[in-house]
């Protein structure tokens, strides 16, 4: 699914991209400006800001009550800035040299600037919430958005910390089996899905969505985020050439709990398990082992379960064209394109 198959998506991404450029221009005198510019290029799908805007469109009532969509742009971009911040910090944590097909922020600017650049982008999200009020969102709605941002950010950090705990191919912690999958889903809910859920809720809250609508969009974003992360974990095992966007061996090198690997470790014989846990298996061997174990199929099943949950959550919302576009974003998000 490309951006052309969802009406208005391309325009929305262009608007967001222009707003990012405006934001970058506003911080040209900031010593961190080159770091921010690097982290924000290339742009990617801009999934999280699109979720903010599309969620707002989905719940908005009579037109006169609704903020023009452009007035949500600063906070939509703020969510993308926080996402890029978390990527820079992740790359510090994982020691990853590549991101989106080129040098990662810490690889290009060093650890210090990657830490600081990320911190600044988190606070830029906070700034964008206040800007939203200047642009017409009610103070009550902004405060509720502040609560959601605070909670999502705490979840994000806790999720990455949980990932570190689960790293090491199950040495001393639940890894495979049912308890392993439960732990994986909880980790992914925190580290990936919380910000997507937050993006959907913020969009709804800021245009005055009712609590039921906000809750439904929160569930939608959470299930989408879990499905998205499983899809991301599956990428290195899909047929065809391996993507150059991120080193496929990063999860392996860091013994991270990626779902296919976790499931394969669970069903591997003791020798393979030991070799996997030691991290000294060649990548093509790992790939063959994971595929042959049936782990890829099982991971796809779990991904599709969460896709189903995301679509079901949307049933609580008015059946408009905007709701259909939101549903179409699930395919787009998981399309890897």
Q: Does residue 334 contact residue 303 with C-beta atoms inside 8 Å? A: yes
Identity of the residue, 66 or 161, whose beta carbon is nearer to a second copy in the bound complex: 161
Nearest CA to 141 out of 65, 203, 216 is that of 203
**Burial tier of 231 (Cβ tally within 10 Å: 0-12, 13-18, 19+):** buried
Identity of the residue, 215 or 327, whose beta carbon is nearer to a second copy in the bound complex: 215
CA–CA separation, 209 and 199 (whole Å): 14
Q: How far is the CB of 20 from a second copy (least distance, A)?
A: 16
Nearest CA to 49 out of 333, 331, 336 is that of 333
CA–CA separation, 285 and 278 (whole Å): 14
Identity of the residue, 58 or 152, whose beta carbon is nearer to a second copy in the bound complex: 152
Q: How far is the CB of 197 from a second copy (least distance, A)?
A: 15
Q: How far is the CB of 17 from a second copy (least distance, A)?
A: 22
From start to end of the chain, where are the E strands?
98-99, 102-103
Q: How far is the CB of 87 from a second copy (least distance, A)?
A: 12
Tokens of 146: 């502040």
Q: How many CA atoms lie within 13 A of 322 on its CB side?
A: 18
Q: How far is the CB of 307 from a second copy (least distance, A)?
A: 28
Identity of the residue, 108 or 298, whose beta carbon is nearer to a second copy in the bound complex: 108
CA–CA separation, 106 and 34 (whole Å): 13
Q: How far is the CB of 140 from a second copy (least distance, A)?
A: 5
Binding-site ranges for a second copy (CB under 8 A): 30-32, 35, 86, 89, 92-93, 111-113, 115-120, 122-130, 133, 138-140, 142-144, 146-147, 149-154, 156-158, 160-162, 164-165
CA–CA separation, 293 and 239 (whole Å): 16
Contacts of 82 (CB under 8 A, 6+ apart): 121, 122, 124, 125, 149, 153, 195
Identity of the residue, 32 or 242, whose beta carbon is nearer to a second copy in the bound complex: 32
Identity of the residue, 130 or 242, whose beta carbon is nearer to a second copy in the bound complex: 130
Q: How far is the CB of 5 from a second copy (least distance, A)?
A: 36
Identity of the residue, 10 or 95, whose beta carbon is nearer to a second copy in the bound complex: 95
**DSSP conformational letter for 67:** P
């Amino acid at each position: 699914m490309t951006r052309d198959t969802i009406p208005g998506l391309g325009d929305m991404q262009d608007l967001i991209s222009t707003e990012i450029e405006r934001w970058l221009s506003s911080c040209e005198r900031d010593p961190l400006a080159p770091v921010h510019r690097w982290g924000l290029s290339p742009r990617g799908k801009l999934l999280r800001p699109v979720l903010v805007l599309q969620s707002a469109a989905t719940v908005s009532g009579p037109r006169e009550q609704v903020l023009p969509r452009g007035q949500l742009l600063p906070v939509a971009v703020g969510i993308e800035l926080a996402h890029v911040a978390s990527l820079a910090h992740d790359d510090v944590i994982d020691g990853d040299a590549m991101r989106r097909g080129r040098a990662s922020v810490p690889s290009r600017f060093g650890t210090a600037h990657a830490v600081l650049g990320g911190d600044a982008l988190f606070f830029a999200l906070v700034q964008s919430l206040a800007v939203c009020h200047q642009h017409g969102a009610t103070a009550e709605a902004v405060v509720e958005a502040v609560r959601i941002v605070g909670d999502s950010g705490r979840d994000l950090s806790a999720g990455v910390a949980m990932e570190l705990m689960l790293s090491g191919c199950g040495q001393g912690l639940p890894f495979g089996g049912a308890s392993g999958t439960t732990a994986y889903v909880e980790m992914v809910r925190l580290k990936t899905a919380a910000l997507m859920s937050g993006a959907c809720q913020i969009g709804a809250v800021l245009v005055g969505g009712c609590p039921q609508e906000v809750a439904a969009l929160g569930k939608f974003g959470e299930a989408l985020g879990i499905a998205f992360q499983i899809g991301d974990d599956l990428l290195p095992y899909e047929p065809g050439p391996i993507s150059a966007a991120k080193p496929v061996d990063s999860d392996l090198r860091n013994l991270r709990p990626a779902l296919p690997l976790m499931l394969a470790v669970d069903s591997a014989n003791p020798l393979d398990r030991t070799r996997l846990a030691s991290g000294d298996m060649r990548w093509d061997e790992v790939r063959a082992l994971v595929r042959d174990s049936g782990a890829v199929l099982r991971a796809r099943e779990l991904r599709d379960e969460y896709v189903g949950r995301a679509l079901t959550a949307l049933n609580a919302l008015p059946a408009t064209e905007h709701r259909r576009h939101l549903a179409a974003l699930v395919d787009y998000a998981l399309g890897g394109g």
